[in-house]
Amino acid sequence: MSLIHEIDYGTPLSKAEKMVTLTIDGERITVPEGTSIMRAAMDAGNAIPKLCATDSVEAYGSCRLCLIEIEGRNGTPASCTTPVQEGIVVKTQTPRLKQLRKGVMELYISDHPLDCLTCSANGDCELQEQAGVVGLREVRYGYEGDNHIVSKKDESNPYFTYDPSKCIVCSRCVRACEEVQGTFALTISGRGFESRVSPGMNEAFITSECVSCGACVQACPTATLMEKSVIDIGTPEHSKVTTCAYCGVGCTFKAEMRGDELVRMVPYKDGKANHGHSCVKGRFAYGYAQHRDRILKPMIRAKITDPWREVSWEEAIEYTASEFKRIQAKHGRSSIGGITSSRCTNEETYLVQKLVRAGFGNNNVDTCARVCHSPTGYGLKTTFGTSAGTQDFDSVDYSDVIFVIGANPTDGHPVFGSRMKKRLRQGARLIVADPRRIDLVKSPHIRADHHLPLKPGTNVALVTALAHVIVTEDLVDHAFVRERAYLDTFNDWAAFVAEERHSPEATELVTGVPANLVREAARLYATGGNAAIYYGLGVTEHSQGSTTVMAIANLAMATGNIGREGVGVNPLRGQNNVQGSCDMGSFPHEYPGYRHVSQDDTRELFEKLWGVPLDPEPGLRIPNMLDAAVDGTFLGLYVQGEDIAQSDPDAKHVIGGLKAMECVVVQDLFLNETANYAHIFLPGCSFLEKDGTFTNAERRIQRIRKVMAPKNGYADWEVTLMIAKAMGYEMDYNHPSEIMDEIAGATPSFSGVSFAKLETLGSIQWPCNEEAPEGTPTMHIGEFVRGKGNFVITEYVGTDEKVGPRFPLLLTTGRILSQYNVGAQTRRTENSRWHEEDRLEIHPIDAEDRGVRDGDWVMLRSRAGETSLRALITDRVAPGVVYTTFHHPNTQANVITTDFSDWATNCPEYKVTAVQISPSNGPSAWQEEYEEHSQLSRRITAEAAE
């Protein structure tokens, strides 16, 4: 697929059902009511000249280039702001219109630098193009009068420039920032000739509210807002459609290239998850793929204290296989295992679990979803019958009430966050349950109806209290429950939540949320129309993560908010392919498609397919692998695209386990923290260098496409094949499409999926099978996947992690927009300009009690460990609660998180740690040691490279 310019219809698509017929330039055309004449003409293949209109934002009607004539009417209305009407007859090209357009264009051109030949937008500029379209051949006013040609450029943003001399004040950027992104960072300041686009109060972009989403750059018809990469490299000449490799929103992009050089990533208008929008990470922070830190040659070493030695791929693979075979011969079949990556493709993840189950002969495979959304899998499967969210993102357009709990969409899932904000600006009501005042609580033109600032660790008590109100005030949708749920489970649950001990008044002391707020929020959720729940790691990463997921599912079932657009239970998945890695059988107890390894029929199916006997016993989870390593029974690990030393809880425990192993194989782009304890390093390849699919938070399977050759020589799936072959278990695939064919053949919910179908449809939401050949946007319509909905009793059991005199504050963690997880990618881009270090947010009262001032170094201590970072004093957090991000390895928030975990899935309790804070003089001893160690590692690697 190679396209640079997508069609711009000038104004957004009308979703009206009623159709209207009109005549444009002699041709009859029928379009939905509400369509602009400009768009109707475009539909008929007749492009009306335009400058201020673009189909990503509402029409504004300022440039007057798109004038038309309508028979029987005076004047020349703008076609972008004039909607179609039944029976009208429109003319788009008359002598009068031509003359008027030329006049308009003349005015624009007379105040334009006209350095087209050296302009970065040469050949990609709408002003240039439209000047040609209207046939402008001379400018009567000359170029000498007042103009803006010497205006100063703003180059403060690391990714794009603002050159006011080229601005035609069309306001497309301002509208994009408001309507698409919802940040309202731009205004048109001044009047008439003095009008100019201005970030904030005439600030520089870098210091303004701008979040660098790039929507304004994309909307700009000239070179006024322009990617620096285009200025450096030149305009792109071909492109491929691919999918962002950062978060679970799964934005689709055009990777625009010049030769084999990536010029820019442009969000794809037909992308069904993002509809042409993006955030700063996917749009701009792709430079890590070319970063000099990337390791491109395999390396091995006998001991982790030895320097790395670069070797050939053959030697590295042979050494891997011989070590794994040696360990298994000495310590048994179960002494090795693998970890799949939620950053890698479905096909790669499938292969790693297949290698472990069929090649290693055990089920010791696990994934990072263990540490994020495993409770979603458990909770939604138990209640609804399937381990995934119920809606597509478009569903939010039909929501009347949005309930966000334990998620921060504007930072964690920014493109969906913008979508949600748009719906809220249209009038949907909002409930936010979060210990912290996240942006959604109050941002431009948005204010939550209810913010429930609960204490970390009390989700179950809060959601059960909401259920108490719904049941005791009889706000239940009885018809839905009767028809769709197991009545006995509903009755038991209703009796349970109705107990007085679950009332908002009784739970107020536990949750810290005033009872009246809980009551009002429950009434709004139950009676406000279509109500949708969105949740994130603030729900799952708790010792009761699975219980909260089930409590949420109960709430949706009791109020009938499931099985249609606008409602549902929607986990906001973190990593780009965390849904896919779970679907592909990355857990030790499940084959692809969430079928238990002990199920005879499924096991037989895979035994036949893979040609070997398979182990009916579930394998080890990551924490158990590490325990077994310390015990001396688990000694070899293949880690593909994960950094467990940095991202898993209780870092000391993880490192202890890794150090105890005899052969740790890390496959990654960079020498990550886990590689510090590895014996073999296999270079990984970036999403730009391989083919495959990712599955986003909506269950949407989307293609990633190779736009350049793998810099390390092999795609990750090919490396897994080589290891398998060297281990004596040969797998035979020539392309990831063949792996997908195998997945489809063995997994009922994927049976209709193929690369060929993805090529035609663009993306597919599973289940995709005979009943749903084009996929399933909304699940559980008519009946639940499990048949009837299953209500589950959700007893609140407080975490064992308690505050007390030694550790009186509760630490909770999260992430910010510009960085991503442990920062391995984003720290290697200019995104670090916005977040150079992790800071500890602390309420002014708690800070004052401890003599801490804004910016001071503080020591953060828990029962597990200590770390130092600088304080940020803010009332975004409540007294008694502190908060930090975990993007920088030298902070390692996980040094202080405990090893408490979800009772059902072992998902670690990252969101609740009892801590104490005291002033400190700088980094802790271990942080300094860590820094030394990192420098040493870097030096050893550099020496090896020389």
Which stretch in 46-54, 256-264, 353-361, 732-740 sits in contact with ligand FES by CB under 6 A?
46-54
The partner in contact with residue 281, picked from ligand SF4, ligand FES, none with C-beta cut-offs of 5 to 8 angstroms by kind, is ligand SF4
- CA distances to 340, 393, 575, 595 from 387, in Å: 18, 17, 16, 11
Which residue among 59, 66, 225, 532 contacts ligand SF4 (CB under 6 A)?
Answer: 225
How buried is residue 96: exposed, middle or buried, by Cβ count under 10 Å (0-12/13-18/19+)? exposed
The partner in contact with residue 556, picked from ligand FES, ligand SF4, none with C-beta cut-offs of 5 to 8 angstroms by kind, is none
CB of 198 to ligand FES, least distance (A): 21
Q: What's the sign of the alpha-carbon dihedral 91, 95, 99, 105?
A: positive
Nearest to 841 by CA among 808, 872, 803: 872
Binders of ligand FES among 523-582, rule CB under 6 A?
Answer: none
The length of the chain in residues reads 946
Which residue among 32, 34, 61, 844 contacts ligand FES (CB under 6 A)?
Answer: 61
In the complex, which residue's CB is closest to ligand SF4? 282
420 belongs to the binding site for ligand FES (CB under 6 A): no
Which residue among 14, 62, 672, 829 contacts ligand FES (CB under 6 A)?
Answer: 62
Q: Which is nearer to ligand FES, 75 or 427 (CB)?
A: 75
Task: State both tokens at 617.
Answer: 């016993």
CB of 11 to ligand SF4, least distance (A): 16
Are the C-beta atoms of residues 168 and 63 closer than 8 Å to each other?
yes
The partner in contact with residue 62, picked from ligand SF4, ligand FES, none with C-beta cut-offs of 5 to 8 angstroms by kind, is ligand FES
83 belongs to the binding site for ligand FES (CB under 6 A): no
Tell me if residue 214 falls in helix, strand or coil.
Answer: coil
How buried is residue 306: exposed, middle or buried, by Cβ count under 10 Å (0-12/13-18/19+)? exposed
Nearest to 661 by CA among 621, 684, 627: 627
The partner in contact with residue 65, picked from ligand FES, ligand SF4, none with C-beta cut-offs of 5 to 8 angstroms by kind, is ligand FES
How buried is residue 72: exposed, middle or buried, by Cβ count under 10 Å (0-12/13-18/19+)? exposed
Binders of ligand SF4 among 123-182, rule CB under 6 A?
Answer: 167-173, 176-177, 181
Are the C-beta atoms of residues 826 and 281 closer than 8 Å to each other?
yes
Size of the site for ligand SF4 (CB under 6 A): 41
How would you classify residue 318: left for phi > 0, otherwise alpha for psi between -120 and 50, otherwise beta? Answer: alpha
Which residue among 42, 78, 131, 396 contacts ligand FES (CB under 6 A)?
Answer: 78
CB of 667 to ligand SF4, least distance (A): 23
Q: CB within 8 A of 828, min separation 6: which ones?
A: 287, 288, 291, 293, 670
Q: Which is nearer to ligand FES, 57 or 402 (CB)?
A: 57
Neighbours of 717 (CB within 10 A): 25
Q: Which is nearer to ligand SF4, 20 or 167 (CB)?
A: 167
Size of the site for ligand FES (CB under 6 A): 12
Residue with tokens 């549902």: 568
The partner in contact with residue 64, picked from ligand SF4, ligand FES, none with C-beta cut-offs of 5 to 8 angstroms by kind, is ligand FES
Which stretch in 61-69, 479-487, 498-506, 906-914 sits in contact with ligand FES by CB under 6 A?
61-69
First to last CA, the chain: 40
Q: Which is nearer to ligand FES, 50 or 421 (CB)?
A: 50
65 belongs to the binding site for ligand FES (CB under 6 A): yes
CB of 30 to ligand FES, least distance (A): 22
513 belongs to the binding site for ligand SF4 (CB under 6 A): no
- Count H helices and E strands in the chain, helices first: 29, 36
97 belongs to the binding site for ligand FES (CB under 6 A): no
Are the C-beta atoms of residues 945 and 311 closer than 8 Å to each other?
no
637 belongs to the binding site for ligand SF4 (CB under 6 A): no
The partner in contact with residue 212, picked from ligand SF4, ligand FES, none with C-beta cut-offs of 5 to 8 angstroms by kind, is ligand SF4
Residue type, 497: V
**Spatial distance between the Cα atoms of 354 and 730, rounded to a whole number of angstroms:** 11
- CA distances to 289, 467, 508, 841 from 802, in Å: 43, 26, 17, 20
The partner in contact with residue 692, picked from ligand FES, ligand SF4, none with C-beta cut-offs of 5 to 8 angstroms by kind, is none
The partner in contact with residue 61, picked from ligand FES, ligand SF4, none with C-beta cut-offs of 5 to 8 angstroms by kind, is ligand FES
Which residue among 78, 125, 134, 210 contacts ligand SF4 (CB under 6 A)?
Answer: 210
Are the C-beta atoms of residues 120 and 231 closer than 8 Å to each other?
yes
Q: Which residues bind ligand FES (CB under 6 A)?
A: 50-53, 61-66, 78, 80
Q: Which residues bind ligand SF4 (CB under 6 A)?
A: 167-173, 176-177, 181, 183, 185-186, 197, 210-216, 219-222, 224-225, 244, 246-247, 249-251, 274, 278-279, 281-282, 413-415
